Amino acid sequence: MILVDKDIKQYVDSQQLIVSGFKEKNLNGISYDLTMDVMCDEEGKEHREYDLKPGETVFVKTQEKISIPENIVGRIAEKNSRMRQGLVVDGPHYQPGHVTYVFLRVTNISENLLVLTHDMKIAQIMFEQLTQVPAMPYSAQVGASYQNEVSYKGLGNYKEEYEKQTKREIQHAKESIEDLSQKIYANVLTLMGVLVAIFAMISINYQAFTNAKISMAYVLVMNLSMTLCIVVMLGLILIFVNKAKNKKFLWLYICILAVLAIATIGVCIAMI
């Protein structure tokens, strides 16, 4: 059952739900508008006014301090007007027994610079009554990280655990970038090798056909030798620089290399 304005007011009068910073003008039919106090940037510095750039995110502390009874849950909801302005406001479900100032994550998804100011209505909170009191309310949880949060705690008790996960993701991204750069470098080397080989073979064949003293056997040996060198070079690049792991490719490469080597040696022996 969602509490209406009259229910919310009764709880507030008995020092529950909203125990500090309550403004009766912020009370709606089935919700209460939360008002910004300070904005916390990435470094944890607090601002009473903040220019939120497109794509930027800040955490907002509200003026309201809540104290959720053990038979109620608080749900954060966006305001229609802020959504149309281009602000995305995210907040957790505030569990039974949770006592804290409200902290919200605010992101600017518009193309405009949006000014966040003290006293600005930023979101709304709705209260829903539970069927019964849970066996483990937030107030009874050992090491509840965000109980009685007065200033922005960041990751709180989860900092060490989450930072390890973040480091793993950063390391994975770093390895992916390094792997991609190696592949690009290898492909550039491969392309350069192919171009150099083509021009070298054209030069050798041109000299062969313009100089009568050079035999066709010599031309064949030179072409086979050049091709063998090219295959060796490209194979080394693909295997060691580009880290080729395809076994079929490796066997095919070895077969081509062996055929070229045998053909080159055979022609050389025939010329002797």
The least confident of 24-28, 71-75, 154-158, 161-165 is 161-165
- What is the separation, in whole angstroms, between the first and last Cα of the chain? 100
Tokens found for residue 184: 């690009």
User: For 5-154, CATH number?
Assistant: 2.70.40.10
Q: How far, in Å, CA of 90 to CA of 158, rounded?
A: 19
- By C-alpha distance, which of 147, 164, 130, 127 is closest to 18? 127
Say whether pLDDT at 271 is over 60.
Answer: yes
Check pLDDT > 60 for residue 81. Answer: yes
DSSP state of 86: T
Domain ranges for the chain, please list them. Answer: 5-154, 167-271
Of the spans 32-41, 153-162, 168-177, which averages the highest pLDDT? 32-41
Q: How far apart are CA 243 and CA 61, in angstroms?
A: 51
Split at pLDDT 50, 70, 90, the class of 182 is low
The yes-or-no verdict on residue 197 having pLDDT over 80 is no
DSSP-based three-state secondary structure for 189 = helix
Say which amino acid occupies 215.
S
Structure confidence at residue 43 as a pLDDT band (50, 70, 90): confident
Task: State the number of CA atoms in the 13 A half-sphere of 198 facing the CB.
Answer: 6
